[in-house]
Chain A
Amino acid sequence: MSWGFLRDLLSGVNKYSTGIGRIWIAVVFIFRLLVYIAAAENIWKYEHDEFECNIKQPGCENVCFDHFFPVSHIRLWALQLIMVSTPSLLVVFHVAYRENREKHHNQKLYKSPAELDGGLLCTYLISLILKTGFEIVFLVLFYKLYNGFKVPRLVKCDIRPCPNTVDCYISKPTEKMIFLYFLVATSCLCIVLNLSEFSYLIFKYSIKCYLKRYIKKRQ
């Protein structure tokens, strides 16, 4: 069980997405998942070992590391990727439900089970809202937990058992900061894509509804 599962899931969703949805999937695959696995994971690999405090007191380093990194950046990043990809499952389930219904009743109930109309459109829009919501929640979480997206070189720590205020040095702060900014940029891009897809679908279907009503009135 690894990221391959997420890849398969997203490939499955690709079939039922709009054009903008497919661009979103490509951005998530290439600029978030691949960058995470190929580059980011290794930067944070030894973060605890390389976190150094100017003190010999046993336990001080552990306590300070835990205080400044309640949840590591890289774990938050992984959680964000998983949570943001999951709402697409709603669409997959709904299509499977439709196909199941057709099989059960042994007749064609829908023009095409994967066609975005009626209930499936609502599910799709809800999944877009959830995706955007999760992105924003995680960005806010990052911001609040780490006081912005900066990674300082030096942090001062005075928690027991550290005897006084002690200097602690974070490893590779610049590299971590660069990749954090990259994460924020791709998150924002994904939010923009989700919002445009949402507006596009609302616009398209309201025009469709309006035209239908107009034609009915004329008749």
Chain B
Amino acid sequence: MDWGALHTILGGVNKHSTSIGKIWLTVLFIFRIMILVVAAERVWGDEQDDFICNTLQPGCKNVCYDHFFPISHIRLWALQLIFVSTPALLVAMHVAYRRHEKKRQFRKGDQKCEYKDIEEIRKQRFRIEGSLWWTYTSSIFFRLVFEAVFMYAFYFMYDGFRMPRLMKCNAWPCPNTVDCFVSRPTEKTVFTIFMIAVSSICILLNVAELCYLLTKFFLKRSKKAGNPKHHPNHENKEETKQNEMNELISDSCQNTVTGFSN
């Protein structure tokens, strides 16, 4: 169980996302999770061992480290990634629920059945409309909130995004004000800025996706308001073709279902 399992779960959501959503997922996996696992964890790996204070007083190093790093960058990032990925699960659950309902309908041999077999239901891609639109939009909203909260927590806890080389500490049992030196401050600053930059890109992508969905929604609504009654004779050629296809499929579907029960 590791980030790979999260990748499997979220990969399923990829099919039902918008294009911007797919880009967001790619950025998340390549520029955040992969960088975290492959590079950042090594940089912060020896953080307490190589955190050195200019004193021989036992316990001073521990106390100073705890004072300056209440929660390590790397852990905050891991939590941020987990929380930011979780709203996508709402969408995955909604899709699974819809699939389950369709499978139930199919098994009951419903007249409205549009599928040849269960495999087609499993592979079907749902469009983002109706209740799925609301789930999807709220998941984007929650993602934005979590990203913002974590970025603010970062800024607040570490007084900005720079990692200083030297910290002065006078927490007990340190006898006086003691100089403590952080290991690899420049490398840590570089990675911190990188992660913040990618976070900001993800926030922008989420905002763009939200705007896109809202625009689409309002355009659709204004179209519906513009054509209050859909005149049956005005069906365009494509819709007629689709209707014919649906009739053919439902006929053959009924035959398949009677075939099953025999």
Tally of contact residues, A, Cβ under 8 A:
39
Complex contact A38–B69 (CB within 8 A)? no
Complex contact B65–A52 (CB within 8 A)? no
| Stretch from A129-137, A141-149, A166-174 that touches the partner | A166-174
Q: Mark A7-48, 1 if CB is under 8 A from B, else 0.
A: 100000000000100110010011101110111001100100
Is there a chain A Cβ closer than 8 Å to B118's Cβ? no
Complex contact B58–A169 (CB within 8 A)? yes
CB distance from B95 to the nearest CB of A (A): 13
Complex contact A167–B82 (CB within 8 A)? no
Complex contact B173–A170 (CB within 8 A)? no
A38 and B5 in contact, given A175-B72, A175-B75 (Cβ under 8 angstroms): no
Per the bound structure, the CA–CA distance linking A46 and B85 in Å amounts to 29
Complex contact B82–A31 (CB within 8 A)? yes
Query: Chain B residues near A179 (CB, 8 Å)?
Result: 75
Is there a chain B Cβ closer than 8 Å to A50's Cβ? yes
Total A-B residue contacts, Cβ distance less than 8 Å: 99
- Interface size, B (range): 20 to 34
Complex contact A7–B5 (CB within 8 A)? yes
CB distance from A3 to the nearest CB of B (A): 4
Complex contact A29–B62 (CB within 8 A)? no
Complex contact B70–A178 (CB within 8 A)? yes
A53 and B58 in contact, given A35-B82, A37-B1, A46-B49 (Cβ under 8 angstroms): yes
CB distance from B216 to the nearest CB of A (A): 29
Contact surface of A with B, Cβ cutoff 8 Å: 2-4, 6-7, 19, 22-23, 26, 29-31, 33-35, 37-39, 42-43, 46, 50, 52-55, 153-154, 167-175, 178-179
Instruction: For the A-B complex with A52-B61, A154-B59, A175-B72 known, give 7 more contacts whose Cβ atoms are closer than 8 Å.
Output: A3-B1, A6-B1, A30-B89, A43-B75, A172-B48, A172-B72, A178-B70
